[in-house]
Amino acid sequence: MSRYEERVYVTGTAKKSVADLRKQLTVLRGDLQQYMARNPRGPMVDPLREQIRRLEAEIADAEASKKRDRDARTETEGEEGAPSADGRPARPMRATSGHFPPRRRGP
């Protein structure tokens, strides 16, 4: 398969972001409300409720894993960024002179 075909015909299942999952959840909840307004005992109500439950669980898992990753990063950064004996941070500050152009001097 060529690179163009790989880009066009995606074969793997991409991991959805939490924002996309939340959007999908709001759409499903809106659909459920519409079905409930028309026919509360309709055939689509139970499958939609089950799908909403699965999606809520997936969102909760994604948020929990994101929180675990964030906590793990702060723990490792806390060890590296701890001040040394003389009170300075262990990691040196980055120089920003390369990021910004020099200021203009007044006339």
In angstroms, how far is CA 98 from the centroid of its own chain? 31
Whole-number average pLDDT of the chain: 78
The domain segmentation of the chain, as residue ranges, is: 16-69
pLDDT in tens, 64-103: 998 998 888 877 655 545 555 555 555 566 666 667 777 7
Contacts of 24 (CB under 8 A, 6+ apart): 16, 55
Q: Degrees (nearest 5) of the Cα angle 47, 20, 75? A: 115
pTM attached to this predicted model: 0.56
Count other Cβ atoms within 10 Å, centred on residue 93: 7
What is the rounded distance in angstroms from the CA atom of residue 9 to the CA atom of residue 5?
Answer: 6
